Amino acid sequence: MRLSTKSRYGLRALFDMAYNSGTLPVQIKDISRRQDISPRYLEQIFQSLKRAGILKSKRGPQGGYFLAKKPEQITVREILQAAEGDTFLVDCLNGNKSKKKACPFDSECVTQTVWMEATQKLNEFLSQMTLKTLCERGQSMGVKREQDHRFTYYI
């Protein structure tokens, strides 16, 4: 499994949302500015995350994207699967062999057992890591939070 920019940026964007906005709607332009990711590319990534049930959206002046679940309920594995489609370390583990030609050693490959075990351990680790975990790490690292300007009032 080689992580593409789609999954890396998706994870960064969701961390940004959870860290800066919690479950409140946030606009793509704000995430784009803070994370230095193209807004058009974020829109594409967010469509995959919406289809996976990780994000929802709300139209209107106070609208934007928001987390469909609490940060502690969204795992890193879930995000990577939504972005990448699978989390196998090597293509030969994927049950869908139509993408690549079949491996001639498929039924008798000892190394395939190594990749399967490694994939399982990695998936266990990624399933334990949540957006809440990332937010806690961000806070302990001193990552600056941006206050939402929509809710700042002056008298």
Express each pLDDT in 59-88 by its tens digit. 988 889 999 999 999 999 999 999 988 778
Mean predicted confidence (pLDDT) in 95-119 = 75
Q: What does each C-alpha distance from 136 to 24, 29, 63, 123 come to in angstroms? A: 18, 24, 26, 21
Mean predicted confidence (pLDDT) in 113-119 = 90
Which domains does the chain carry? 5-86+130-145 (1.10.10.10)
